[in-house]
Amino acid sequence: MPNAYISGTGFYVPPRVVTNDDLRTQYGIDTTHEWIVQRTGIEERRFADEGVGPADLGALAAEKAIANAGIDKTDLDMIIFATLSPEHCFPGSGVYMQRKLGLCEGTNAKFVPALDVRNQCSGFLYALATASSMVKAGALKHVLVVGAEVHSAALDLSTRGRNIASLFGDGAGAVVVSATEEDRGVRHWKLGADGRFADVLAQRVWDTRKRPFIPVDAAGIGHVEPEMMWAQMEGKLVFKNAVERMMTVLMEACIANNITGADIDLFCFHQANLRINQYIQNALGIPDEKIVHNIQRYGNTTAATIPILLAEAVESGKLKRGMKVACCAFGSGFTWGAAVIDW
């Protein structure tokens, strides 16, 4: 039975930088740089231009990952695309990115399956677990796993929405999961969910239990109330559960792999809030040199945070062949996950 390893990484973030001060001066949000940094650690984020969707960002990250894996696009056997901000309700972003990668064109067209994963901040780890399982089963040889988000189009960029609007940014990260006979790769993954808290962090733009699923006026034009249109979050409850679930699932993944935290060379935590990650780091006694952060520069890019972290760590030389990596995430649902990888 083959092992499943990450053969290539890549990431892309839009060029437009939006600082905390920009939120105040350009959007009129009643906030300060110090207020945002104190609560989240975020100093700036990236916003995509109008007309750019997650498939656009994902394709640029995917191109890099495919090149770094040393394979051709037509070597791919599947695409798994994780996002909470797809271009449309349906179809999913995966097929749009497939087309942008040119897989549907020319004499070498290859109509690989495209699967979308909607597990928000845990989406990349759910997708990685799916990809590695398929590769280990011998069904596929190369799977492209992408996490990409364009949050800026759906943020309430006003004082009313500042608690959430200040958190999120746009970006994409990608990895290629490949089969190998070498003793390396994704060693163990652990996933979880608790639907009791499904409404604690949610964006309920429509409700298909209602008729019509979006309220309409006499002319048939839909109207969405602010509490439905914009994401809503009970911050303190999310913080508490994030800390508890991330620490627990991380330890469960290590125990299943018969290792301890001391055996991990690099920790890549989901970048939702720097204060959450620092709390976990201190609680588990993780030294600074063993953990990477980029939320200060990108904000929370949900499904893209971990693959961006991995790609940046490879580019900087922080992540090298032979190292043991632990990835961990928590998000809406509530959902969570962890993976231990021998790089």
Please indicate whether residue 121 is annotated as part of the active site.
yes
Give the SS3 label for residue 158. Answer: coil
* Annotation says 254 is catalytic: no
- Per annotation, catalytic residue among 142, 151, 188, 270: 270
Alpha carbon distance 325, 311 (integer Å): 13
Q: Cα separations (Å) of 198 from 76, 233, 234?
A: 35, 11, 11
- Of 133, 37, 53, 59, give the one whose Cα is nearest residue 85: 53
Note if 300 is an active site residue: yes
* Catalytic one of 273, 300, 327, 328: 300
User: In this structure, what token pair is assigned to residue 167?
Assistant: 């958190």
Handedness of CA 109, 115, 118, 121 (dihedral sign): negative
User: What's the CA gap between 218 and 29, in Å, rounded?
Assistant: 34
Say how far apart CA 239 and CA 223 lie, in whole Å: 32
**Residue from 121, 268, 327, 328 carrying the catalytic annotation:** 121
b/e 226-253 (16+ beta carbons within 10 angstroms → b): eebbbbbbeeeebbebbbebbbebbbeb
Phi, psi for residue 117 in degrees, rounded to 5: -115, 125
Residues with a catalytic annotation lie at 121, 270, 300
